[in-house]
Amino acid sequence: MSRRKFIRNTGFATLGGLMLPGLKQLQALSFASNYKYGLQLFTFFTTMDQDVEGTLKKIADLGYTEIESAFSRKGGYYGKTAKEFAAMLKGMGLNWKSHHVTGAPYVRPANAKPMLDANGKEIVIPPMKNLRDNHEELIHDLAEAGVPYLVCASTPVKTAEEVKSSAETMHKSGLAAKKAGITLCFHNHEAEFKTVENVVPYDEFLKLPADVLKFELDLGWATKAGVNPVDLFKKHPGRFPLWHVKDIDASGKPCPVGQGTVDFKPIFAAAKESGLKQFFVEHDMPADAIASITASKVYLDKLLG
C-alpha cells in the first residue's frame, strides 16, 4: 500500500470514528420521530371546561393526535362519562391514550394560592376519584373506553409512612389495572426525588415490580430536581413508556418546549432504551396555551424531523 493511500484510508477511518457517536444519536432521534404527538390536557386546565369540544378541535388542528386527560371542574371526564369522552375524541380523529388521577384524596396545601381561571375567578373542582379509594371504578371506566394507560399524577410523600402507603396503593392498583389490560404509571414532580426520613420516594416506587408499575417521566420536573433522565433510562431500561415533554425556564417555571433549560436532544436519543411508547407535551398554566403548544410543536418538528 502506498503512503498516500495509507494516509487516505486511515484518515477516513478516523473521521468515521469521530462521526459515529453523532450518527448513532441521529439514528436514535429518527426512532423517536416515529411517535405521534401527544398533549396533556392540563395545559388547558384554566380554560378547557368553558369549551371542551372547541378546545379539542383546536388541538387537533395543530397536529396533536394523542390525548392524556386530567382534572376537570365539570367532574367526570370533562363533564362526560368515559365512554362519551372517548367517542367525542374519536369523532375528532383523536386517540385517548392516558388519564391522570391522584393517589389519594387531593388536599390543597395550606400555603398554596387558589388556581384562577381566565377571568380571574377561583377554579373549584368537584371531588376527584383517586387510586386509594376508587381504583376499581377508575379502571372499569378506562377499560370500557379502551384507554391503555392510567397515571398516578401525584401522591402523598411528605413522610416515610406516606411513601410506604403510596407504594402500597400503587401496587394494589397496578395489579388490578394489569388484570384489565391497563398499564399503571407514576408521574413525578420534584418532591419524589428528595430524601424524606432516609428514603427517596422515587427509589421506593421503582422497587415495585416492573410488570405492576411503570413510569411517566416528567422531563421538566426531573431536570429541575437535578436528575438526568438518560441516567434513569440506563439504570431502569424499558420502565418509562410515557414522558411529559416539559421545559423549564431559568427561573424554574414551565415554558414552551425548546425555550428553556432542558436538553431534549440526548433524552430523545435515548427513547428506545427508556421504553418510550408515547410522549405528551405539557405546559402548566401557560398565559396562552395555544401559543405554547404551537411553539412546542415547531421545536419538536425541527428536533425530530
Q: CA–CA separation, 155 vs 148, rounded Å?
A: 21
What's at 2, amino acid-wise? Answer: S
Residue 26 lies in a domain: no
> Percent of the chain beyond pLDDT 90?
80
- Span 279-303, pLDDT tens digits: 999 999 999 999 999 999 999 999 9
User: Which distant-in-sequence residues (6+ apart) come within 8 Å of 42 by Cβ?
Assistant: 70, 71, 100, 282, 284
Q: CA–CA separation, 137 vs 159, rounded Å?
A: 28
Residue 20 lies in a domain: no
Whole-structure pTM value:
0.89
The pLDDT assigned to 29 comes to: 66
Domain count across the chain: 1
Q: Report the 3 state secondary structure along 144-192.
A: HHCCCEEEEEECCCCCHHHHHHHHHHHHHHHHHHHHCCCEEEEECCCHH
Residue 46 lies in a domain: yes
The pLDDT assigned to 194 comes to: 98
The pLDDT assigned to 113 comes to: 79
Burial degree of 223 (CB within 10 A; 0-12, 13-18, 19+): buried
Return the closest-CA partner of residue 36 out of 245, 249, 187, 262: 245
In this model, does residue 243 exceed pLDDT 80? yes
Instruction: Please give the grid coordinates belonging to residue 191.
Output: 418532591
In this model, does residue 22 exceed pLDDT 60? no
Q: CA–CA separation, 156 vs 201, rounded Å?
A: 10
Residue 15 lies in a domain: no
Residue 8 lies in a domain: no
Residue 21 lies in a domain: no
Return the closest-CA partner of residue 149 out of 241, 231, 226: 241
Q: CA–CA separation, 241 vs 235, rounded Å?
A: 15
Q: CA–CA separation, 24 vs 20, rounded Å?
A: 6
- Span 28-40, pLDDT tens digits: 566 566 889 999 9
In this model, does residue 17 exceed pLDDT 90? no
Residue 95 lies in a domain: yes
147: containing domain:
33-106+113-304
CATH number assigned to the domain comprising residue 161: 3.20.20.150
Residue 167 lies in a domain: yes
Burial degree of 273 (CB within 10 A; 0-12, 13-18, 19+): middle
User: Which distant-in-sequence residues (6+ apart) come within 8 Å of 75 by Cβ?
Assistant: 126
